[in-house]
Amino acid sequence: RAELGRSAWRLLHTMAGKFPYNPTKDEQTAIKDFIYLFARLYPCGDCASHFKIILQAHPPIVTDREALSQWACTVHNVVNKRLHKPIFDCSKVGDMWKCGCDEDGAGNSTISATDRNGNATTIES
């Protein structure tokens, strides 16, 4: 459960940290939908239930990157408080969750994978 939680928080914080500075309405809707689906489909039932309650009290703020990053930090601290873990200073979020991905998505990359039948697949972007 702990490893799943760390990975989940890393994903949410990184997505917030890469969210556009000036998102379109479509991007705002997409990230909000993702967050609610994330809570709905989260593999740990207890954690999912708790996160849904947190979302009712703290709905996602998706106006821009800074707002979403602060929201993610705030809800993470709600969970940390519940679990008696240290509270993070949200004023220090900034670039903490940079993933090394290029900012504009223009970089080309190649991903190789194997499907469930063992067939190799290469995807270029």
**Domain spans, the chain:** 2-94
Q: Which CATH architecture has domain 2-94?
A: Up-down Bundle (1.20)
Residue 21, both tokens: 């500075």
Burial class (CB in 10 A: 0-12, 13-18, 19+), 62: buried
Q: State yes or no: pLDDT of 79 exceeds 90.
A: yes
Three-state SS across 67-115?
A: HHHHHHHHHHHHHHHHCCCCCCCHHHCCCCCCCCCCCCCCCCCEEEEEC
Q: Can you give the pTM of this predicted structure?
A: 0.78
How far, rounded to the nearest angstrom, does the alpha carbon of residue 50 sit from its chain's CA centroid?
Answer: 17
Q: How high is the pLDDT of residue 112?
A: 46
The model's pLDDT over 87-119, given as tens digits with 9 standing for 90+, comes to 999 998 876 666 666 555 544 444 445 556 666
Residue 78 has phi, psi (to 5 degrees) of: -60, -45
